[in-house]
Amino acid sequence: MVKILIPYALRAFVERKAEIEVNGSTAGEAISALAEAYPTIKTHLFADDGKLRGFINLFAGGTNVDKLQGLDTPIADGGELMIIPAIAGGRDAPELSNEEIARYSRHLLLPEIGVEGQKKLKAAKVLIIGTGGLGAPLALYLSAAGIGTIGLVDFDVVDASNLQRQIIHSTRDVDRPKVASARDRIRGINPLVNVIMHNTMLTSQNALDIISNYDIVADGTDNFQTRYLVNDACVFLGKPNVYGSVFQFEGQASVFGAKDGPCYRCLYPSPPPPGLVPSCAEGGVMGVLPGIIGTIQAAEVIKMIVGNAKPLVGRLLHFDAWRMSFRELKLDKEPNCPVCGANPSIRELIDYEQFCGLKKNKEEKPIETITAIDLKQRLDNGDRIQFIDIREPHERAIVKFPNALIMPLGQIERRMEELDPSATAVFLCKIGQRSILGIKALREAGYKGKMLNLQDGLNAWAREVDKTMPVY
């Protein structure tokens, strides 16, 4: 028997199980047995040609099977197979003032840092992309450590739901630009730090200009299109990319783009299909998790600036907060990587929304939507509508929608016969994203009834129709 460790992003398709034992003597046999036992996960693991999808990595004994014998890699009886999906300087070091010596004395007492290391930190310029869950601890600890210049990239404003984990912001900052809120907190911690605000979305048009002014990039993004953009821009500019990501209870950290080390595309050559890996807004995240991963990123930034340390180059650190376990996985530079390989095929920044499948395919039938206001009108008119709530039980405990058929996303295809094709089906989730996957799954399974997606989900219904319902 082989134990397969299932990441949180895929547990909805295996009855929320974290570990599953299957029969198999190789990685390929084990993963195929998993797909046979849980058919709903198969399309998320394998492409139409039967090959493992590019955003899925399998690790045996802490090593990517691609670097061993691929799917033919032997797995001993009782062994484990882990699925990992796509969840500086150069200038003269300035002298330290007496005020700085007093402030950073605990660093100066460390021989590995000392006065010279602290001077390097003072001279360094670090760009933090995103001032949310990961960017918050990054900015707090890097400013406290004495990084001379910190750049902040974010175009969002503070929302009350951010405060559960984005500890750089406070209740009084709600509705303020995040970069302004973060700047004020940084100045409160360390007024000696020069803070540069980039209150804008990072795009293919501005990324190179912004990143080129910094020594190191710390990636605190929360979406795949920006993550690939940051990776590619860092490779093109020769800037280290200190990577972190979180989802529910799991986190990852590594350092990409370093000389002779892999980049993000070496690990994940292609992104997952839109909607497969929910955002934190949809799937949730344990509040302390981004704090843990963000401080690991901050430690990597400090180590790379000071030097003579062992950064996470060629290593992926995987953390499970619920089990309180760390695993280190070996990463290799991919010779055929389209960005950092020997013969790169991508030599300039591309359209990352198109690359991540976020632009509408003209040949694909669009998903019909209905607004909360229009849905209320149809109900008042007496239209025959069946509601399909695709959320998991723990999420329905937050707020229930009356008279809805409860059909979690992983059950939709096998329970298709419970739907009434003569009635219009309206699909419900939190913000109207996961429900699109349910409609697509039923469409591919041959369901002929009319299906509508509630635009912006139950949160829109709570805001616009039934204000007694909570927004979450």
Active site residues: 280, 429
**Closest by alpha carbon to 269, among 208, 349, 339?**
339
Is residue 195 classed exposed, middle or buried when 0-12, 13-18 and 19+ CB atoms within 10 A define those classes? buried
Position 89, amino acid: G
Say which residues have a Cβ less than 8 Å from residue 284's Cβ, sequence separation at least 6.
248
The answer to whether residues 413 and 445 touch, using CB atoms and an 8 Å cutoff, is yes
CA distance 309 to 307: 5
Per residue, the 3-state secondary structure of 8-73, as one string, reads HHHHHHCCCCCEEEECCCEHHHHHHHHHHHCHHHHHHHECCCCCECCCEEEEECCEEHHHCCHHHC
CA distance 149 to 102: 20
Q: Which two tokens stand for residue 97?
A: 């003032």
CA distance 416 to 442: 7
Q: Which two tokens stand for residue 283?
A: 């799937």
Q: Which two tokens stand for residue 388?
A: 């399909």
